[in-house]
Structure 1
Amino acid sequence: MKSLLKSFLVAASALLAFTACQKEEERLLLDFSAVPVVSVSAPTVVLTKDNADKDALTISWPKPNYGYNAAANYTIMIDKKGGDFSKAATFPVGTGLSKTFKASELNSLLLGLGLTPATAGDVDVKVMSALGGRTVLSSALASVKATPYLDRLDLSSPWGLVGSATANGWDGPDQPFYKTETPSVFVAYVKLVDGDVKIRQDNKWDTNYGGSGGKLSLNGDNLKVTAGTYKVTFNPTALTYAIEKFSWGVVGDATLNGWNGPDQNLTYDPSTDQWFALLPLKVGDIKIRQNNDWAVNYGGTAGKLVAGGDNVKIATAGTYLVVADLKPTGLKYTVTPAKAWGLVGDATPNGWDGPDQAFRPDLTKDGVWTLTGVKLKVGEMKVRADNKWDTNYGDDGANGSLELNGANIKVAAAGTYDITLDFTNANAPKIAIAKK
């Protein structure tokens, strides 16, 4: 028995020695000057929103001759010209030797680095090659002069709707009016309760309008409304207004309420002038219709909406982000699998049992989610998906980096907060919490 054990130990030692020698031999064979040589498909790139889905830039490199058959893993890093790459955008590509960026993806990256829309700016590109656990080689820098485009609309206006019928009462902040294609006409999409409203400027009473019968006057009477979802149109030049029942919704046997509704409401997004909803869907069909009625309804295929068109098919049950451009000049849609991210914890209004405070997707930046004006108490919280604990994130280092099943996020001071989730790099998500 002793002899057998001795033989085993000798064999194991020999194997370890052989492995160590192999690794040492690889390091001795490695040519440390064999770094990736980076090429870009164009030295100058001008991005436009019209070409958002087109290929804009390819970064590539031939496999270096490392001196032995190395299995390298590559990562592309992009930073503003002269940056130290500590805040660079990173893109692991595994053993691949190139990556092609769509215009929309590259645009989001450039804006995230701080480049100014419609202005040419310079960025540096490098590729890191990782060999084994400890050897990382860096390429020389390549440069690109790139011009991003403004990826969100600015439809904001100084006008707002205030009153007992609005979500924030007479003290505001007011429900916003947005610009329309007609310069002197503004529109608000609001859910109201029974009560009164007025229209005012800059959340102040210095300039306010009331009235009746579609006519407005300075400091006029309150406008009386009943509960419902409305489109409010306002013309400060002609001093006219209109308040009409209005909603867009998703209906169908794939929805919670079936073909008879009530429809699952879409929400207006002023940064893209589109409508969206984040909702659970079953296998089945859906359509988009106005005011819970079939008088105006849309269906379609391949992302195109057609009045009275075919049902949109949902092949797999799950949570989906539905986005629709319902302008006559747009008429397109996307239905994309998504997580419904929320904030839960004793620092939040609904505690650890939820329902969670829902983040809304930033339709101009894939992977970015926002929660605006949430009231938090002193306590703790976490980020989770779909009001369940299956996928949840905390912040182990209290440094803004999110870790799966990480530590609770502490809230030291009660107040109103704006919170942003950034999942653009799914392997390194981040959270930004700002007290208002």
Structure 2
Amino acid sequence: MNKIFKNIAFFVGTLILMTSCEKDEIQAVLNSGATPVVSLSAPTVVLTKDVAENTVLTVSWLKPEFGYDAAPTYTILLDKKGGDFSKAYSYSAGKDLTKTFKGAELNSILLNLGLPAGAASDLDVKIQAKLSDAVTLTSPLAGFKATAYLDKLDLSSPWGVVGSAYNDWGAFADAPFYKTGSVEVFVAYVTLKDGEFKIRKNNDWAINYGDDGANGTLEANGANIISKAGAYKITFDAAKLTVKVEKYSWGIVGSAFNNWGATPDAPLTYDPFSDQWRGVVTLKDGEFKIRQNSDWAVNYGDDGANGTLDAGGANIAAKKGTYLITMNLKENKMTIEKITNLWGIVGSGYNDWGATPDFTFTPDFGNFSKDFDTKGVWIAQNVTLKTGEIKFRANSDWALNYGDDGANGTLDVNGANIAVTAGKYDIMLDFSKSTPAYKITKK
């Protein structure tokens, strides 16, 4: 028996020694100094809309001599100069040794890093080569200058609509006025309730206007302006102190949607970031037109089926599906883009897990991208929730749904239900980053 124990001890000792030697051999052949070296195609990049679809920057590197037959995977990290890379842009390149950036792609990265448009900014780039879970080698920093451009309009103004007719006199943010082509003339597109409203600056009562004579002339601290329920265009001249309130809306009507007006038209929403009207609409096989104020006095079709809007023009053919419809009144153009995923809210906290239709999100046009349905930001405003749980799902179906396993604001596919309490909320889904996220804000 003693001999057996001695043999076992000898075998174990030999095995430990062999394992130790193998580790020493691996450590001996790994060239820890073999880090990637970054090469950039240009030291300076000036971005404009004209080069949005052009390749503007190429990041490349050679596979280092690791000292053995390694199979690394690479990650590109890009941050503001001097940043700690904790909030850097990250791109997984796999086994590739190069990455090209188009103008629009790089511009979006720069803006998401918080860099200003129209001014040159310094950036740092580095490459990480991952050899195993325990070993990652990082390149020295490389740098370049880049100038971003604003890819959307900024028509914002400090003025807003407040009142019982809109936000219960400031229970939530005032309806915004937007800049127009005329200096000191602003416009708001707003849906009002029966009630009253005023115009004020910066969501504050220090500067506000009403209409003492109900004659369209504004007075500082003047009388409330009476309104009836409906969709309106409010034009405010801050220089002349006048206001004009007129019914105003655009919508989709047709056999493809509401049997030519048997039910309300599908509304289009003003997008101040592009000065266009947009709407997400689920259509049937059929035809449609765009009309103003749910009336035929002003309507558009498309005589040439070429995307050009014609007053009183031909019906527009449609196939069954969900679409983003965009109307550009300045150019009399229209685009129709099919949507893969239309996001909604479902749960005991809203519709008893689908007993009634999901609350539908709309794109946040301030964070708009060509692939917005999978890469953009979606918003749901003024959602009334009950105490319970919710999830987010695509196309009112469970095939693709998100919850939150860690209750940390990160979206997880098929994740845990999200607990909510009764109240009115704004909810945002953000698919624009590598890790999808959401935010629920009580109003």
Whether TM-score is above 0.5 comes out as yes
What amino acid is aligned across from residue 429 of structure 1 in structure 2? P
Give the counterpart of 2:379 among 361, 370, 383.
370
How far residue 45 of structure 1 moved from its aligned partner, in angstroms, is 1.7
Q: What secondary structure does 1:384 align onto? A: strand
The change in CA–CA distance for 1:103 and 1:377 in structure 2 (over 3 A counts) is farther
Which residue in the other structure is 1:57 paired with?
Answer: 57
Q: Do the aligned partners of 2:79 and 2:124 also contact (CA within 8 Å) in 1?
A: yes
- Does residue 265 (structure 1) correspond to residue 267 (structure 2)? The answer is yes
Say whether the 8 Å CA contact 1:151–1:364 is kept in structure 2.
Answer: no
Cα distance, 1:68 vs. partner?
A: 7.5
- Map residues 1-80 of structure 1 onto 2, 5 A cutoff: 35-49=35-49, 51-62=51-62, 73-80=73-80
Q: Does 1:387 align with 2:396?
A: yes
Distance 1:388 1:321 in 2: 20
What's the CA shift for 1:423? 1.0
Which aligned pairs between 1:177-326 and structure 2 lie closer than 5 A? 177-201=177-201, 202-204=203-205, 207-210=208-211, 211-218=213-220, 222-253=224-255, 255-259=256-260, 262-283=264-285, 286-292=288-294, 293=296, 295-297=298-300, 299=302, 305-308=308-311, 317-326=320-329
Are the aligned partners of 1:324 and 1:334 in contact in 2 as well (CA < 8 Å)? Answer: no
| Structure 2 match to 1:168 | 167
Greater C-alpha Rg: 2
What corresponds to 1:114 in structure 2? 114
* Inter-partner Cα distance in structure 1 for 2:184 and 2:358: 39
Cα distance change on mapping 1:321 and 1:380 into 2, 3 Å: same
So what's the TM-score if we normalise by structure 2? 0.75
- C-alpha distance in 1, partners of 2:325/2:95? 35
Q: Deviations over 1:319-357 (max 9, x none)?
A: 3333333334x8463524242223344455x55446444
Moved more, 105-114 or 46-55: 46-55
Aligned residues of 1:271 and 1:364 also touching (Cα < 8 A):
yes
How far off its partner does 1:287 sit? 4.5
- Counterpart CA distance in 1 for 2:60 and 2:432 is 22
2:88 aligned with 1:88, yes or no?
yes
Q: 1:378 and 1:391, CA in 2 relative to 1: closer, same or farther beyond 3 A?
A: same
> Would the aligned equivalents of 1:303 and 1:333 in 2 still touch at CA under 8 Å?
no
Deviation at 1:375, TM superposition (A): 5.7
Does the C-alpha gap of structure 1 residues 34 and 101 become closer, same or farther in structure 2, counting only changes over 3 Å?
A: same
Q: Tell me by how many angstroms 1:404 deviates.
A: 0.4
In structure 2, the residue corresponding to 1:204 is in which secondary structure? strand
Distance in 1, Cα, partners of 2:152 & 2:167: 26
Instruction: Provide the C-alpha distance between the structure 1 equivalents of 2:28 and 2:339, rounded to a whole number of angstroms.
Output: 49
Whether the aligned pair in 2 keeps the contact of 1:368 and 1:422 (CA below 8 Å) is: yes
Deviation digits for residues 366-391 of structure 1, max 9, x if unmatched? 32223456565654332222333332
What percentage of aligned pairs have identical amino acids? 50
Query: Amino acid of the residue matched to residue 267 of structure 2?
Result: N
Is the 1:301–1:312 contact (alpha carbons within 8 Å) kept by the matching residues of 2?
A: no
Change in 2 beyond 3 A, CA 1:83/1:72 = same
Match of 1:12 in 2: none
**RMSD over aligned Cα atoms:** 4.0
- Between the aligned partners of 1:301 and 1:214, the Cα distance in structure 2 is 42
- Superposed CA deviations along residues 175-200 of structure 1, whole A, max 9, x for unmatched, are 33222111222211122344444444
Gaps of 5+ in 1: 1-23
Q: 1:169 to 1:131 in 2, by over 3 A?
A: same
Query: What letter is aligned with 2:249?
Result: S
Change in CA separation of 1:375 and 1:125 when aligned onto 2, cut-off 3 Å = farther
Matches of 2:32 and 2:304 in 1, distance apart? 54
Q: Deviations over 1:203-246 (max 9, x none)?
A: 53863212435444455555444433221212233333322222
CA contact (8 A) 1:209 1:216 kept: yes
| Corresponding residue SS for 1:279 | strand
Is contact 2:55-2:101 (8 Å) kept?
yes
Contact residue 128 and residue 137 of structure 2 kept, 8 A: yes
Report the counterpart of residue 432 of structure 2 in structure 1.
424
Residue 40 of structure 1 and its aligned partner are, at CA, apart by 2.4
Q: TM-score, normalised by structure 1?
A: 0.76
Partner of 2:13: none
Over residues 251-294 of structure 1, what are the superposed CA-to-partner deviations in whole Å (9 max), with x where a residue is unaligned?
455x4225557431111122332222122234555554433437
Would the aligned equivalents of 1:172 and 1:203 in 2 still touch at CA under 8 Å?
no
SS of 2:235 mapped into structure 1:
strand
Structure 1 residues 303-312 or 135-144, which shifts more?
303-312
Contact 2:157–2:176 under 8 Å retained in 1: yes
What is the DSSP-based 3-state SS (H/G/I as helix, E as strand, rest coil) of the residue aligned with 1:108?
helix
Alpha-carbon distance between aligned partners in 1 of 2:119 and 2:219, rounded to the nearest angstrom: 44
